[in-house]
Structure 1
Amino acid sequence: MKNTKHKPEKSSLSSTQIVVGAVVLCACVYFIGRPKNPQVILPAKTAAAKLDTKKVSVATPVLSAPAATMSRQDYIASVAAERREFTATMEIGLKSLDLTKIGNKLSIPIKLIPDKRWCMAGDIDTMKAAVGDVAKDNILVSLEPEDGGKGDSFRTNVLSLYKASEHTFKIDYTGKRERSFGLHICSDYKNGKSCLSKKIKTHDKISDERAASGGKRTTNLPETKFFFQHVVIAGDRMLSYGTNNFSEKFKSNVAKYFAKNTALPADELKAALKTASISRSVPLEVTQKLIEVHLPYNDPRCVSP
C-alpha cells in the first residue's frame, strides 16, 4: 500500500485577514497623522462675501470731526453762514473773474458775441437803425469807473459786431478798494473816448425816434447809449451780477449783498441798477478767462421781428 502524502490546505481566512489588517493600518495612520485643527475651506460665495466686507471697511473712512478748537455750536453756525452766503450769491446771479495785474494796470479781457435770434430784434438791430453809416467806426465800447475816473475804450462799427471779436481793456490798479464800473456800448460821432455821459434810452424809444424821422437823417445824429452792464472791481477781481430781473426784491437782494461784502456807496449801486433797468442788456457771462458780452440780433430770414 502506497504511502500518500497530504499537502496541507491553505486557509481560506488568510486573504480576509490581510484586507482587514490593511484597513486597520490605514485608519491608524489617518487618525495619528491628521492635524488637530483642520482647516475648513469656505464655499466660494462665503469667501467672496468676506472679501467684499473687508473692501467696504477700507473704502469707507470715518469722517473727521470738527477741529478741537471749534465747538459744535460754532461749527453749526459756520456751516449755516456759508449756506446763507451761497444762497445770496445764487439769488443775484453773482459771477467773478480773476484779473491779471501787470505793473499798475489790470487787464480785463472781453469777447463781443453776436447772438442770432428768431424774429426778435436786439441790440445790433437797434444800433443799425440808429447810426448813419454802419461801416464807419462810430460805435464806442468802454469800461469806465462810475465815479468819473479814467477808463479805457475802443472803437468799432455795426458791421463788425456781426462777427465775434475780442479786446482787452487796461484799467489803472487802485488797490484793494471796491469800485463801480460801467461796461458801455454807445454811438459816438466826435471821436470821443467815453460813453459815461451819453443818454440812455430804451430800445423801443430809439427805434420809434428813428422811424419817426423816416430813417433819412444821417447828420447831427444823437449820441446814444445802447448797452450797459454794471461790474465791480475789487483789487484784482471783478464781480458781475444778473440783470434779467428788476423786481424790488431782486434789487433789494443786490443792495444787501454789496452792502455786506463791499464798501460800495449805496447811491452808486442804486444809479447802476436804474441804468441797467432801462437798457435791459443781456447779462454778462463770465468764463475762467474772459467776460462774454452777448449782443442779440434778428435772424435775417425773419423779415418782420
Structure 2
Amino acid sequence: MSKQATYKAFRVEEIDNTYVSTIKEMPFSNVTEDELLIKVSYSSLNYKDALSASGNKGVTKKYPHTPGIDAVGTVVASKSPKFKVSEHVIVTSYDLGMNTDGGFAEYIKVPASWAVKLPKNLSIKEAMVIGTAGLTAGISVLKLSELVKPEDGPIIVSGATGGVGSMSLKILKKMGYKTVAITGKEVEINFLKDLGADEIIMRKDVENMDKRPLLKSIYAGGIDTVGGVILENIIKSIQPMGVVTCCGNVASPKLDVTVFPFILRGITLIGIDSQNYPMKYREKVWEKFASQWKLDQLSDTATEITLAQLKEKIDLMLQGKLKGRTVVNVN
C-alpha cells in the first residue's frame, strides 16, 4: 500500500451544466476482497474517454469522475490469490473509466478479475500503445483470420487512421494480408502507407457507392470501425464466404442492407465487444501481441503525453483530428 495520503487524477466535474476537467489530489480507499490497488505507469486515450470527459451520460452516468478505460502498472496491494505485489498488470475495458474511476490517475483500484498479467516480451508502454483499441483490433483480426486467409484476397479496413483501424492494419501486415484502408483524411495517405496499407480509398467514394443490394465482390474480408453506410457498402463488396467484423457506430448505429450478401454470398458478419470479452480469450490475444503479432518499434509509433496535456488531446479527438495512438504517462 502506498504511504502517500493522496494521488493525482484527471477529474471531470459537472458545474452549471458544463463539464470541467482539472488535475486533483484524490484520497486512497481501502482494498477489499478480490481487489487490487495498482500504481499506474501508463494509460491511453480512446474515443470513449473523450466522450466520458465531455459529459456523455451514455458512457459515464455520474460525476465527478476520472476517465481512462486503459491502464498498465504495478500491483501495490492485492486481496486476490491470483496476483502478487510488484507484478505488472494490464487493465482494459470492463467498467474501468466508465462508471469506475479510470486510468487517468496515478493509482486505480479494481476487481482482480479485470486484470491480465503483462506478458513477457511486452513492455508496459507497448501494452498501452495496444490498449483497448489494440485489443479490439486483435479480437477482430483473430476472428477474421479463422475464416479468411491471406491468399484469399485483400482486407478492407475503415476508420484506418483511428486507434482500432491503425492497429488492425499493423497486425494484418504482420500476418501477410494485403490491405485496403478507408480514410476521410487525404493528408494522412503517407501515414497509412507507413502502417502497411497496400491501397487507400477515400471515405466519400465508399459512401457514394451504388445503392444496389450487391456490389462487385472485391474483398475477402473487412474490419469496420465506424458503422453506417461504410459498413453497408463493405458488406455488399465482400467475396463469397468472406467475413466482416464490426466494432463501432460513430457514423451510425443503423444498418440498411438486404439479406442478399448473407444468403447469396455466404457472408459472415461478426460483432466485436472487447469491453466484456471473456478473460481466457483476452489473455490469448495479449500473448499474441507478445509473440506472433509482436510489432516492431511499437512504442515509437504513438504520441506520448502527460495528464496536463489530456484536455487538449481530448478536444482534438472529438474534432476527429487525432491519428494513431496516444499514450498517457501519468507520472
TM-score (norm 2): 0.20
Structure with larger Rg = 1
TM-score (norm 1): 0.21
